[in-house]
Structures are given as structure tokens and as C-alpha cells.
A and B are shown apart, each in its own frame.
Chain A
């Protein structure tokens, strides 16, 4: 090692260190550079497209099952029965957010756009079954019975009407069995 490279080494070490220290000092003094968001009090922006927890507007949901089919991790489960007006009536619609990866595929395919992402991302729970979000709060059995009653009523009504219209003694189609999906 020649003396020149020896001194050069020292010189380089000192100058490059000084350069770096100048930059850190500048950041250290400049308080405007602080980027921390004091989270619970301050919040960052939540963008419109943010994919938070799922929410289903069960009134507009047509129980088409598209979301269930596309979900790669099977976290949506729904049960629907055919109602009196031939439309499907949801009996239960559950999303397991413990499994969901918020990929947004289900929201994209939903034809009436009833399934949406909310901006929510804060949740804590102590039991695993709390991770399942229920969107139908009524008891499944109650709905099933109500729908069956409605269907039966409608069928009876239809039969009566048919009897009146054509005065034929034969009743119309039997009351539809609750259909499971």
C-alpha cells in the first residue's frame, strides 16, 4: 500500500462521511420533512376505490351466486330460496373476513352492484366466529318458513284465481319446496 493510497483512503472516508452527514443533518433540522401520521387522531386519505370490508346491500342483491363462484378462497356463502314472485330471497349471506383477501373480484362481478367495498379497515375480535359478517340478521329458519308460507299462499291464491277463471276443479302446481342454493 503506497502512502498516496493510504492518505487517499483516509481522505475518502472523511469526505464521504461528511457528505452523508450533511444530508442527514439537513433532514434532522428540517421539520417539514416529517411524514408520520399520528394514526388514531390523524388519518390518511381513504380513496374512493379503497378495498375495505365487504358490505352487501341485501335489498338489491339478486342472489345470483356470481360472487360465490368467483371468490378464489370461498369466503362468501349464501343461501336463498325462491320467493312468491319467482325472485330469489336471501336466507343468509355471510362473508368470512378472516379468509377474505380483499381482492375485489366478487365486487366486480356483482350484476346489480349490491356488493361493495366499504372504506372500513379497523376491526378487532376475540373469537374466530366473530370474523363472519352476517348481512341477514333474521333467523334463517324464520325466513324459510315465512317464504314457504308466502309461496303457499301465493300458490293457493293462484289456484283459486285459476279456478275462478277457468272454473276447473284441479289445483295449480303444488307449493314450491324451499329451494336451496
Chain B
């Protein structure tokens, strides 16, 4: 950001009187772009979800609004905005209004460190992964608030379940991401991606770095599914038991916020998995830095989005296949299976990095053959 400001001031010397204004403006623009992206993606996510669900179930899915139903999400959005925003009389008015924003903020703030491309990132924080873990925790507060403030017993059960679930699955999520951090030696998402480049192609990815990181990827996906309340871990929403849980009482655009946050979450999860295990925007056998910056960015953006979207599709595919766990089974799975396994992986990767000086299996094989 500072560089960009400096660049602009250099180009337009008249702005030098108020460099902070330029920075502020830039931040505003970037935030706007990110927000727009997140919204559009949330819309597109719903479309994708419905289309894939329909395909799996032998149906057609949305196909009336726009070409092959692509504009369905706009219609949905307009509908949600025009709907009456009902607040139950017995609800805690302020908390009830606040909860969707908290959830929304929690999931959208994570977009800041999503590395879309070669240099396309809102802020390359040096604590990127840690930051994501921290801001997404906001969601659990929001969910708990939503459940509590609705003054509905089903919602409260949903909120409680959600809070318990998110808190317990945060541990395996964090632990499963650590291998990538250890291998790259940095918490910054861009650094992690850069460490996966090189001439090894897809074998440079952390996924293939060593057996532990390979399993970490799958553990991360499972734990992240649980953290975002997706099937088979969607017990806080569980429409067949809890009648949608914490968002039962919400309507109109507030309900829309929950919806958007869910899809934003799904994207963040996929993006993080892509960045940490699937090489992010790295184009196999190709050094993006050797291109002019515009092309490098566009190309890497395409690669990153393709990978992330593929993961989103897998998450949706899982949702339409599996039944839902029970709440005690979910907790058992977290504490008895996920946590020990991720810790085991964590230990394994640490030892690997220590013993082999950070070299992965493909690298070692490559060095054998010269």
C-alpha cells in the first residue's frame, strides 16, 4: 500500500500535500473491490450450489433468469432486499440486529489476506494465517448472538451447537494449516505460495511435500467443513432437526447476510487450502515473475480461481452426498479423531522439516537424478 501511495504521489506531485488521503482512498477502493468480489462470489456460490445439487439429483436447477439461470442470484438478492425485515417482538432488538453484521464481518475480513494472484492481495500481512484464524472466530460470537437474541429455543440450541462446534474445530483447523507454515517458514500467505513454486511443477506443492502434509490437506478440508457449518457438519442449521437453527427468525436481507457469509466462508476455506497446499497461484513449470506484471497477475488470478473453485465444487458435492452427524458424534470426532491426528501430523512435519532441512520428497528425488 505504501509503495502504491508513493508511486501515485510520484506520478501526481500535487497530491503530496496529503499522502494520507491517497492512502485512505486506496484502502477504500480496495475494500470496495474485495467486498464486491465477496458479494458476487456469494451469489455465484449459491448458483453453483443449486446447479450442482440439481445435477446430482437428476434435476435441472435454476434456468429461467438470464442465460442458463446465471442471474438467479441477482433475482434472489433483490427478493431478499425487498422482503420485510421481521424482528420478533420478544427478540433482543440490538443483539438481533447486530449478529448478522458480526458474522458478515468475520467471514469477509478474511478476504483481506486471500492471495488472488501474483501481487493481487489486499494486504500481505506477515501473520496472514493467524489473522484468518482470528477474524473467523468472530463468526462464532455472531452465531451465538443470533441464536440467543432470537429468543427462540430452537435458535438458541442452534447457536449453542454452532459455538461449541466452531470453537472445537478451530483447533484442528489451525493445526492442519501449520505444516504449510512450517515448510514455508512464514505465516504470510504470499510467502507460503512462493515457497511452493520452482521447477518441480505440481510436485512443488505442499500437498506432495511429505506424507504428513499430504494428510494435513485432507484433515484441513474436513475440519474446515466443520468450521463453516457445512454438511455433514451442519448441525447448527440442521433444517430437519432445528428448523434452520440460529437463523430461523431472520428474514429479508439479514437472512441474506447469513447466506452470503456462508458462501464467503466456503470460498475462504477453499482459498486457504489452495494457498497452503495446492500451490496457490503458482502456474506449474512456469515462473510468473518472468512475465509483464499485468499478464502475470491475470494468469495467476485465473489459476488461483480455478483451483479454489474446484475445491468449492468438491465441498458442494460432499454436501449433497452425506447425511449429517449428531452433535455428540461431532464433538467426539473433533476431540477423538481430528485433534490427535492433526497433532500427530504437526509433529511429523516438524520432525521432517528438522531432519531433512525442509526438503520435500519430490525435491529429494529430483536431487538424486541431478
Contacts and interface: CB of A to CB of B under 8 A. Distances in A.
A11 to B, nearest CB: 12
A36 interface: yes
B117 to A, nearest CB: 30
B58 A21 contact: no
B60 A21 contact: no
Q: Which of B55, B320, B337 has the most CB of A within 10 A?
A: B55
Contact of A34 (B60, B318, B337): B60
Contact of B58 (A10, A20, A27, A38): A27
B58 to A, nearest CB: 4
A27 B317 CA distance: 11
Interface in B294-351: 317-318, 320-322, 337
Interface residues of B, number: 13
Contacts of A24: 56, 317, 320-321
Given A10-B337, A28-B52, A38 B321 contact: no
Given A10-B337, A17-B322, A28-B52, A34 B317 contact: no
Contacts of B56: 24-25, 27-28
Given A21-B317, A21-B321, A27 B337 contact: no
A34 to B, nearest CB: 6
B317 A28 contact: yes
A180 B260 CA distance: 68
Nearest to A38: B60
B126 interface: no
B287 interface: no
B291 to A, nearest CB: 35
Nearest to A33: B58
B10 interface: no
Interface string B50-63: 00100111111000
A156 B237 CA distance: 83
B58 A25 contact: no
A125 interface: no
A173 interface: no
Contacts of B60: 34, 36, 38
Contact of B57 (A9, A27, A38): A27
A34 B320 CA distance: 16
Q: Which of A23, A24, A31, A33 has the most CB of B within 10 A?
A: A24
Interface string A12-40: 00000100110111011101011110100
A49 to B, nearest CB: 28
A23 B317 CA distance: 11
B59 A36 contact: yes
Nearest to B52: A28
Interface string B33-71: 000000000000000000010011111100000000000
A27 B59 contact: no
B214 to A, nearest CB: 14
Contacts of A17: 318, 321-322
Nearest to B316: A28
A29 B317 CA distance: 12
A26 B3 CA distance: 51
Which 5 pairs between the two chains have the least Cβ-Cβ distance? Answer: A28-B55, A28-B56, A33-B58, A24-B321, A36-B60
Given A24-B317, A28-B55, A36-B59, 8 more contacts: A21-B321, A23-B321, A24-B320, A25-B56, A25-B317, A27-B57, A29-B55, A33-B58
11 contacts: A9-B337, A10-B337, A21-B317, A24-B56, A24-B317, A24-B321, A25-B56, A27-B57, A27-B58, A28-B56, A34-B58
